[in-house]
Structure 1
Amino acid sequence: MALNDHNMKRLLFIFFSIVFSHSLLAQQKPVEIFYEKSEEGFVFFGRNIEQVPYMVQINFKNLQNLSSDSGDKTFIRTVQPNASKQKLLEIKKQSEEKGTSFDFNFLYTIGDPSLKVDSDFPYLLPYKHGKRVRVGQGNNGSGTHRGINAIDFNLEIGDSIYAARDGVVIEVKEDSDTSGNAPKYEPYGNFIKVYHEDGTLGSYVHLVKKGSLVKKGDRIRKGELIGISGNTGYSSGPHLHFMVAQNRDFQNFTLPIKFLNYENKLFIPLESKGYYAYHPGKPDFKVEDKFQESEFEGKIEPSSLNNKIEFDSKEYGDYILIYVDNGMKTEMSGVLKLQLKNLISTKKLPYKFSVPAKTRMYLLALSPDDNGASFGYQLSGEFK
């Protein structure tokens, strides 16, 4: 398709937008490229209706009697937020004696190629200050995270989501209540997407229906309550999928970001480990990270059961503590049997015990053998 001075045909615009994981294509085009005729040739401008910058690649073909000062036919430019008519480039006539014509198309995506990613930025864990949550899947995880950097936090449906970093909300989806453990359910995941000042984009995914507390265009602060966690989209169970990505050369690259812990140190979360959210400026909280078995052995408490006996458990840091709760009126003896996957017991198994009447008592603890892998256990026992 050609353009000339006397017969300007309709331009073919090729629009391209990077589509992030768990996203749908936006219906409204945020960026337009247009031109005006000048005395020397043609001047090209950009229009951006969004509050974040967009990178554009403008490609020229079949330049007839026209050229740029550099002689290039491909140009990368940044269209600034809310720009109505930003000059991007100019192509000039080579000869006043001849006519001119050209074809062009362009690509665009969110970001500014001049920005440098802050690889040591201290992200906040995106859940309530003082709350400890285990990582279900980490960077390049064993399940759906193969080849990508993303963290799945084991939040329950209804848990609060907090902003991990300041930014501008660029997209919200919250109309779905559909989920399933198959890729076909990916488009149904609710999410909030946030643009950060270094050009990266954070995605908070699997929110409940109507679970966003922010809207497109809102400027949010780190530690601000922004949403409600759920189980929508491609998901095997309730959790929050959090991911930070950067657009480079019109490709989407996920980043292994670092989080701030309660000791003001940076860390990269590991699969199966639990972490306390620390939001600076909030009150101190009790940390249960350093397990000492001697603090639990020999301690007993009243049973909450009536005429039955059973095992129960609780998490303490990265440990799983196993208890026996005897609601019977007599002392009971028993044997605890465990089948372990990537877990180590603090006591030799099977474990024999005696528990007084109407008493709940600590038995042993389990800890991950490899903190970067998933774990599990099956528990059974005999009583007499």
Structure 2
Amino acid sequence: MLKIFISLVVLIFSFSSLSAQITIETERDSDGNVLLFAVNPTKVPYSVILNFSQLQNMTTPGGGNVTAIASPGRSKVATLKPTLAGQGTNYRYAYSFAKGNVYGKTKIDPIYLIPVAEGTPVKAVLNNNISNTLNKDEKDNSYVGISFIFEQPTLIVAPRKGVVAEMKMDYATDKENLNFSAEENYMEIYHEDGTITKLTVLKSGSAKVEVGDQVLPGQVLAESAGDNYQHGPHVRMVNQRTEKNGPDKLKYTYFPVVFATEEGNIEIKELSDFTVTHPKEIITRELNKKELKSFQSGN
């Protein structure tokens, strides 16, 4: 029997986490311009802020702070142009970066599938912020995602179209009665609107996709885990976007999303019971013509 109470914690995403390092390279062209390129070794875009502490006889379209998107590979993120020809130039800068596209937008309001195999009965529970466990004197009710709890192990699926940005799938433990582990297996999916979905508590070695793969809504990603947790098998899901935090800093913000359920498309705000449904109109609403044709031929 499923327990109706759950106290979960979610670690705040760190800018110095497992994410690969974005590096900056410079070149000078024949006109004396300095070109700055971001080298991004990952499969998804990153947001970059260049903070110029010195610009001697040089200008940029963004002034002292330039925000740009580092696409996978090598891409130009800024151009420094001499102000006066024939005069000396100099510059100095620092930079910061965060996974995701700070300028990302969506053509339609996205609707997410519950990331569990269709037909599975689940309980949806709002996650508890880790700060409430570390500091019990003050309550932090900020949104940190949702847990979907089920009785039997099942398959975990993509809640929305995207690209597999990162994963860790090598954690296995014989510990029992767990409530949380910082080593849990996870996958991150980058969406074309610049946001990221993170799915946590996945079975070790069960990945059905690889980093860089494009996945479609409802596509199987991995098998569930959590059998050795106090509350049994479950998957945790949290969504984040990258935002500017002042002129020269970036931050990750968690935000709630709308799910497709038996009761319609809703934002889950309290303990709820559902039988997972994956409506075709939700699966196909972000697909391009080629993907839609492939989906229709397969169904």
Pairwise same-fold verdict (TM > 0.5)? yes
Cα distance in 2 for residues equivalent to 1:241 and 1:125: 11
8 Å CA contact 1:189–1:233 kept in 2: the answer is: no
Post-superposition offset of 1:191: 0.4
1:173 and 2:168 matched: yes
8 Å CA contact 1:207–1:232 kept in 2: the answer is: no
8 Å CA contact 1:156–1:229 kept in 2: the answer is: no
Q: Letter of the aligned partner of 2:89 in structure 1?
A: T
- For residue 227 of structure 1, give the secondary structure of its aligned residue in structure 2: strand
Counterpart in the other structure of 1:269: 268
8 Å CA contact 1:124–1:260 kept in 2: the answer is: yes
Residues 353-376 of structure 1, C-alpha deviation per residue, up to 9 Å, x if partnerless? xxxxxxxxxxxxxxxxxxxxxxxx
**Structure 2 spans left out of the alignment, 5+ residues:** 1-10, 134-139, 245-249, 282-299
Aligned to 1:50, which of 10, 17, 42? 42
The 1:182–1:21 alpha-carbon spacing in structure 2 relative to 1, beyond 3 Å, is farther
Q: Letter of the aligned partner of 1:276 in structure 2?
A: T
Higher helix share: 2
The 1:41–1:225 alpha-carbon spacing in structure 2 relative to 1, beyond 3 Å, is closer
8 Å CA contact 1:138–1:271 kept in 2: the answer is: no
Moved over 4 A (4+): 19-24, 138-145, 179-183, 232-237
8 Å CA contact 1:44–1:88 kept in 2: the answer is: yes
8 Å CA contact 2:258–2:267 kept in 1: the answer is: yes
The 1:154–1:234 alpha-carbon spacing in structure 2 relative to 1, beyond 3 Å, is closer
- For residue 164 of structure 1, give the secondary structure of its aligned residue in structure 2: coil
What TM-score do you get using the length of structure 1 for normalisation?
0.59
Aligned to 1:37, which of 28, 33, 40? 28
Counterpart in the other structure of 1:111: 100
1:25 and 2:17 matched: yes
Q: Letter of the aligned partner of 2:103 in structure 1?
A: S
Higher relative contact order (CA 8 A, sep 6+): 2
Counterpart in the other structure of 1:129: 118
Cα distance in 1 for residues equivalent to 2:32 and 2:185: 50
Residues 317-337 of structure 1, C-alpha deviation per residue, up to 9 Å, x if partnerless? xxxxxxxxxxxxxxxxxxxxx
Matches within 5 A, 1:145-224: 146-156=141-151, 158-178=153-173, 181=178, 185-186=181-182, 188-224=183-219
8 Å CA contact 2:203–2:225 kept in 1: the answer is: yes
Post-superposition offset of 1:245: 1.1
Cα distance in 1 for residues equivalent to 2:16 and 2:87: 46
Q: Letter of the aligned partner of 1:49 in structure 2?
A: P
Cα distance in 1 for residues equivalent to 2:228 and 2:23: 32
The 1:269–1:138 alpha-carbon spacing in structure 2 relative to 1, beyond 3 Å, is farther
Cα distance in 2 for residues equivalent to 1:102 and 1:233: 55
Counterpart in the other structure of 1:348: none
The 1:247–1:61 alpha-carbon spacing in structure 2 relative to 1, beyond 3 Å, is same
- For residue 206 of structure 2, give the secondary structure of its aligned residue in structure 1: strand
Q: Paired residues, what number?
A: 257
8 Å CA contact 1:161–1:225 kept in 2: the answer is: yes
8 Å CA contact 1:138–1:270 kept in 2: the answer is: no
Cα distance in 2 for residues equivalent to 1:192 and 1:32: 24
Aligned to 1:93, which of 76, 82, 94? 82
Aligned to 1:248, which of 243, 248, 255? 243
Cα distance in 1 for residues equivalent to 2:87 and 2:14: 51
Q: Letter of the aligned partner of 2:24 in structure 1?
A: I
Counterpart in the other structure of 1:259: 259
**Structure 1 spans left out of the alignment, 5+ residues:** 1-18, 283-384
Post-superposition offset of 1:32: 2.6
113-122 vs 35-44, which moves further: 113-122
- For residue 142 of structure 2, give the secondary structure of its aligned residue in structure 1: coil
Higher strand share: 1
Identity score, percent = 26
The 1:73–1:148 alpha-carbon spacing in structure 2 relative to 1, beyond 3 Å, is same
Q: Letter of the aligned partner of 1:92 in structure 2?
A: K
Residues 56-86 of structure 1, C-alpha deviation per residue, up to 9 Å, x if partnerless? 101111222322356x11100112234x3x3
8 Å CA contact 1:117–1:200 kept in 2: the answer is: no
What TM-score do you get using the length of structure 2 for normalisation?
0.74
Post-superposition offset of 1:203: 0.9
The 1:273–1:60 alpha-carbon spacing in structure 2 relative to 1, beyond 3 Å, is same
Instruction: Give the alignment's Cα RMSD to 1 decimal.
Output: 3.3
Q: Letter of the aligned partner of 2:44 in structure 1?
A: V
The 1:150–1:27 alpha-carbon spacing in structure 2 relative to 1, beyond 3 Å, is closer
The 1:193–1:171 alpha-carbon spacing in structure 2 relative to 1, beyond 3 Å, is same
Post-superposition offset of 1:152: 0.8
Q: Letter of the aligned partner of 1:129 in structure 2?
A: E
222-231 vs 266-275, which moves further: 266-275
- For residue 186 of structure 2, give the secondary structure of its aligned residue in structure 1: strand
8 Å CA contact 2:15–2:98 kept in 1: the answer is: no
